[in-house]
Amino acid sequence: MQALLNLLFGGCEFEASLFPRDLSLVLMRGPRFQLRAALQLGALALTDPNIATAILRVRRKRLTYLTVPALLDLHEAAARVEANNLPGILIEAGCALGGSAIVLAASKRADRPFYVYDVFGMIPPPSPNDERDAWSRYEEIRMGRSAGIGGDPYYGYQTELRERVTRNFERHGFPLERANIHLVQGLYEDTLYVAEPVALAHIDCDWHDSVWTCLTRIAPHLVVGGTLIIDDYADYSGCKKAVDRYFADKRDRFAFEMRSRLHVVRLH
């Protein structure tokens, strides 16, 4: 059973100390978390087989680095947005090959706008605000040594990536115009300008300055009950630094829960 869970879900281990002192987190980890996700996926297959199929298909097609538990969490966050009829758009910052965005598209109302931001090419370098972990990873990518998902070529080395992501949406039943999905290409500091309420944002952009830009431009527009999902909080120190710094004086306005990724929910 454990071998099967590892094959399906990958590792889900996190450091125990994610926030200092009074910012408490519910930390879900290890085989128990993986088994719970397996049961959730089975239940979802009975109640909403289209979503369960989308999650398994983007994994099988190697369109996302996210594990099944992380994709389930994305779906559940989007489903809460729709169940509670929250106003606002959906945002994803950093989409790789589009796998996680496809799951969000499958989980939202067709008429709710969904903006997907990415350079659709080689990831930009970290900044002095990042540490050795980010710079080592970037050097591996820059030198052409990075493997892709499941042994495929690394997506950042591929040409016409935006066109490939568009085709991935279409093959999963979400033509961009019909599904109200908007691909926005460029650096976040040049393209990410939000002027309307945000119901849900998935921030998956690794380095400190990218995460900081997303937080400063998205979080002020997050509606009450809306969620920010921070993908790399437990993976890159620069991302953690940006999140800790941004929310240092805002902790009374948000709830923080570590599921497969860090979820930040606006309280008031």
pLDDT digits (tens, 9 = 90+) for 128-168: 999 999 999 999 999 999 988 888 889 999 889 999 999 99
Output the pLDDT for position 26.
Answer: 34
> 2 Cβ partners below 8 Å, 6+ apart?
31
pLDDT, one tens digit per residue, over 207-222 is: 999 999 999 999 999 9
The tokens for 27 are 């930390």
pLDDT band at 33 (very low <50, low <70, confident <90, very high): low
The domain segmentation of the chain, as residue ranges, is 2-266
pLDDT, one tens digit per residue, over 107-118 is: 999 999 999 999
Output the pLDDT for position 13.
Answer: 38
Is the pLDDT score of 28 beyond 90?
no
Output the pLDDT for position 44.
Answer: 85
> 257 Cβ partners below 8 Å, 6+ apart?
25, 26, 263, 265
Task: Tell me the pTM.
Answer: 0.87
Output the pLDDT for position 30.
Answer: 58
Output the pLDDT for position 99.
Answer: 97
Q: Is residue 141 within 8 Å of residue 122, measured between CB atoms?
A: yes
- The SS3 call for residue 13 is coil
Percent of the chain with pLDDT over 90: 76
Percent of the chain with pLDDT over 70: 87
In the CATH scheme, what is the homologous superfamily, with its name and number, of domain 2-266? Vaccinia Virus protein VP39 (3.40.50.150)
What DSSP assignment string belongs to 130-198? S-HHHHHHHHHHHTT--B-GGGSBPGGG-SSHHHHHHHHHHHTT--HHHHTEEEEES-HHHH----S-E
Rounded CA separation 122/135 (Å): 15
Output the pLDDT for position 47.
Answer: 86
Q: Is residue 157 within 8 Å of residue 142, measured between CB atoms?
A: no
pLDDT band at 15 (very low <50, low <70, confident <90, very high): very low
Average pLDDT (30-51) is 78
Mean of all residue pLDDT scores within the chain: 88
